[in-house]
Structure 1
Amino acid sequence: VYQQRVSRLTHSLSVCVITVDWSGYPSSEFSVLRASLLCDGSAIPLMSKVISSRYQNNSAVQNDFLDQMAAAIGKDKQVIIVTDAGFRSSWFHPLRSLGWDFVGRVRGSLYFQVAGDEEWQMARDMVSSTTARYLGFGRLARNASRDCPGHVYTVHKRATGRKSSQHSPRTDRMYRKNAREPWLLFTSLMGYKPRGIVKIYSRRMQTEQNFRDEKSERYGLGLRASKSRGKKRISVLCLLAT
């Protein structure tokens, strides 16, 4: 069903910008791996895979998911995969083997090196400004088996949204810390201006809104209120919700 959906929604496109993300679904017991087509306004869900949360970020699960999507999209299109920092450097290798491009965020203790610099830098030590900048061609991850070439961009996005929330103090502190971190973006794309790469990555937030719409009992479909507990039933609900 999903492969037919992917084929139908992408067959007339020459360029497909697709975000891939994980989310607890509808609670922490299960997780969904979802690919969504980024469009003006909101993302259109293409494929979803519901699994036990203990397999979240599993490379074999992710690679199988990519292979299924590639079979449905075909080889006559440029595909750009957009992901957040939850996908590590090893994620980019299967994308390149499929002939696809990527834009991903790098955070935390992951190392990168820009061409011409002898030293490796840690992503969390990066200092940036509110103006998007191209740092140069570089490499990601010092481990030879995970080493990945690409282009490095950075920008410090100003925090937006509500000044207060209903989260716990600990969660609020985490959100404030994340908002203060600059974006370090790593991509295989060439010929783009810095703000163009930032714009592509910024649109990834559309899929997070889709997840909220499906889970919210007050503003969305209310999947959190579902009494379904089995993987098959939740997978059906996921298909119906998208």
Structure 2
Amino acid sequence: MFIDCHALNALRLSLFAAIESSMNGSSLSITGLGRNIDNIAKEKHKIKRVDRLCSNVNIHRKIEFVYARMVYLLVGKMKQPIIHIDWSDLDERKQNFLIRATLAAQGRSLMLYEEIHPLNRKEKPKTYLLFMTKLKAMLPNDCKPIIVTDAGFRIPWFKQILSLEWDYVGRVRNRTHCKKVAENECAPIKKLYGLSSSRAKTLGAFHLGEKVSFKTRLVIFSHFQTQAQRA
């Protein structure tokens, strides 16, 4: 097999130049990255350089291998790492979104894997399934992480986590309905807010949801306390 070392080195140099340009505060567009490259080349040539880099299909094919290597280096031999997963907006029109998995490490979040999706694929079960399948393939075979998510992730998500034989910590709030396992009446979860304090307290086994019931353990906790609770 013949490898063009000159072309490979040129590709790496272009990648490093684009990274340095972004770190220096340029906009993350082809034109913005190109204009901010720090060398004596003409502006049109710098923009064309970034355009060729972003159009290189071989780079896109290798992105998941890069993520897999990052996971290998960051997770290492951890048996039960804590991994946060959340969504972020990518544009003001809210048409494109980023889903990202980060490793909790001594007060920092270290990026493991991420994907970009349009609005019509955001928070869809199929999107979640493909994302988690790829993440699982990157983790060691004996790794069973604790997946931590915010309130936007709902019952189908928790079921997918359990299907992978992983553990989860999720946040539920406001109009999500729940009932104790031994009871019949459902009520909005916000009715439990009066039981909260700055110390986490387990409430035992509950069923979440009205139409689709999901059994889980509820733990209540609040960053804020009312004046009566502080007294």
**What corresponds to 2:136 in structure 1?**
70
How many residue pairs align between the two structures?
Answer: 157
How high is the TM-score relative to the length of structure 2? 0.63
Q: How does 1:77-96 map to 2 (within 5 A)?
A: 77-96=143-162
**What corresponds to 1:118 in structure 2?**
184
Q: Pick which of 72-81 and 94-103 moved more.
A: 72-81
Partners of 1:83 and 1:116 lie apart in 2 by 27
Equivalent position SS for 2:132: helix
**Structure 1 contact 20–81 (Cα < 8 Å) conserved:** yes
Q: How does 1:141-220 map to 2 (within 5 A)?
A: 141-143=209-211, 146-158=212-224
**What corresponds to 1:218 in structure 2?**
none
Partners of 1:16 and 1:106 lie apart in 2 by 22
Partners of 2:132 and 2:175 lie apart in 1 by 26
Partners of 1:70 and 1:30 lie apart in 2 by 24
1:129 aligns with 2:196: yes
**What corresponds to 1:22 in structure 2?**
87
Equivalent position SS for 1:37: strand
Larger radius of gyration: 2
CA deviation vs aligned residue, 1:95-150 (integer Å, no higher than 9, x gap): 1010000000012322112233332221233223313221111222132xx42221
Task: Give the deviation of 1:56 after TM superposition.
Answer: 1.5
1:9 aligns with 2:77: no
CA deviation vs aligned residue, 1:56-110 (integer Å, no higher than 9, x gap): 1121111100000001113312210000110111111111010000000012322
Partners of 2:89 and 2:165 lie apart in 1 by 30
Partners of 1:66 and 1:24 lie apart in 2 by 20
**What corresponds to 1:46 in structure 2?**
112
**Structure 1 contact 24–53 (Cα < 8 Å) conserved:** no
Q: Which amino acid aligns with 1:95?
A: I
Partners of 2:142 and 2:204 lie apart in 1 by 29
Partners of 1:53 and 1:153 lie apart in 2 by 32
Q: Which amino acid aligns with 1:78?
A: K
Partners of 1:15 and 1:96 lie apart in 2 by 14
Q: Which amino acid aligns with 1:109?
A: R
CA deviation vs aligned residue, 1:205-224 (integer Å, no higher than 9, x gap): xxxxxxxxxxxxxxxxxxxx
Partners of 1:90 and 1:19 lie apart in 2 by 17
Residue segments in structure 1 that go unaligned for 5+ positions in a row: 160-242
How high is the TM-score relative to the length of structure 1? 0.60
**Structure 1 contact 3–68 (Cα < 8 Å) conserved:** no
| Structure 1 stretches of at least 4 aligned residues deviating more than 2 Å after TM superposition | 26-29, 115-118, 124-129
Question: If each structure's helix is expressed as a fraction of its own residues, which one has the higher value?
Answer: 2
Equivalent position SS for 1:105: coil
Name the structure, 1 or 2, with higher relative contact order (CA <8 Å, separation 6+): 1
**Structure 1 contact 113–138 (Cα < 8 Å) conserved:** yes
